[in-house]
Amino acid sequence: MKQVLLASLVAATVSFVMVDAASAATIGQPAPAFSLKDTNGKTVNLADYKGKTVVLEWHNPACPFVVKHYDTSNMQGLQSKYGKDGVVWLSVNSTETGHQDYKKPDALNVYLKAQNAAPAAYLMDESGATGKAYAAKTTPHMYVINPQGTLVYAGGIDDKRSSKKEDVATAKNFVSAALDELKAGKPITTATSAPYGCSIKYKS
C-alpha cells in the first residue's frame, strides 16, 4: 500500500512539473495570458492589447537596482518615449503581501506620481501566479511582446549588471534595442539576456 501511495505522489509531482514547464514563457511562443488588477482596481488582461507591442517590467520600489533606473529617470524615459509610440508599458509587482517590501496600491500610486513614472498600468500580482508563469526572477526583469502576442524579448534591461547609477549612461539597453528593431521589422538581435536585480519576493 505504501509503495502504491508513493508511486501516486511521484506521478502527481511529475505531472505538476510538466504542466508548469509547458506554461512558462518562451521566446517565439505566445506570451502567457494574465488578468490582474491595477493600482486603481481596474482589471487588466493581456488580451486587451492584442495588436499592440507590450512591455512587461517587474518592479519593486525598494530594490536598489530598480532605484538605479528610476532615480536616473531611465525607466520613466523609456515608458514615456515608447508610450508615445503606441507601446503599452505594464509594470508588474509580484511582492507578496506579508513581505516588508510590499506596498498597497494607494501607496504605489503616490510613489509613481512622485517618480513621474508613466506606465500604461501598474499591476498587482500578490499571488505571484503571473510572475511565475513568466519565470520572472528579478526586479527589474523585462519582457517584450509583439503585436501578434508572441514573446520576442526576455531578460535584463541592459548589459550593466550593477546598481550604480552612473552605469546607465554607458549601458547597452536591450529593451530599447528590441523595441526599435521590432518597429523597423527587423529580427531581434538580442532576444534573451540574463536578468539582474533583486530577487522577487514571491508568496511561498
CA gap 168, 22 in Å, rounded:
35
CA gap 97, 53 in Å, rounded:
30
- Considering the chain, what percentage of its residues have pLDDT values greater than 90? 87
CA gap 169, 185 in Å, rounded:
27
Instruction: Count the domains in the chain.
Output: 1
Indicate the helix (H) or strand (E) that contains 123. strand 121-124
The total of other beta-carbon atoms located within 10 Å of residue 142's CB is 25
37 pLDDT above the threshold of 50: yes
Task: Give whole-number Cα distances, 74 to 38, 78, 79, 81, in Å.
Answer: 22, 6, 9, 11
The residues, ordered by sequence, that sit 6+ positions from 117 with a Cβ below 8 Å of its Cβ are 70, 75, 76, 79, 91, 111
Residues 47/144, Cβ–Cβ less than 8 Å: no
Residue scoring higher pLDDT (140 or 11): 140
Domain with 31, as residue range(s), is: 26-199
Please give the average per-residue pLDDT across 143-155, as a whole number: 98
Instruction: Give the phi and the psi of residue 168 in degrees, each rounded to 5.
Output: -60, -40
Residue 191 inside a domain? The answer is: yes
The predicted structure's pLDDT at residue 140 = 98
Q: What is the largest CA-CA distance in the chain?
A: 64
CA angle, 116 then 123 then 73, to 5°: 25
147 pLDDT above the threshold of 70: yes
Please give the average per-residue pLDDT across 102-108, as a whole number: 98
- Taking the model in full, what pTM does it have? 0.88
Residue 20 inside a domain? The answer is: no
Residue range 180-197, pLDDT digits in tens: 999 999 999 999 999 999
Residue range 83-93, pLDDT digits in tens: 999 999 999 99
Residue 43 inside a domain? The answer is: yes
Task: Give whole-number Cα distances, 141 to 2, 57, 134, 154, 158, in Å.
Answer: 44, 6, 10, 8, 10
Per-residue cell: 113 = 506620481
Residue 181 inside a domain? The answer is: yes
Please give the average per-residue pLDDT across 38-60, as a whole number: 98
Residue 7 inside a domain? The answer is: no
The confidence band for 12, taking pLDDT boundaries of 50, 70 and 90, is very low
Q: What is the CATH number of the domain that holds 145?
A: 3.40.30.10
The predicted structure's pLDDT at residue 104 = 98
24 pLDDT above the threshold of 70: no
Residue 17 inside a domain? The answer is: no
Residue 118 inside a domain? The answer is: yes
Residue 107 inside a domain? The answer is: yes
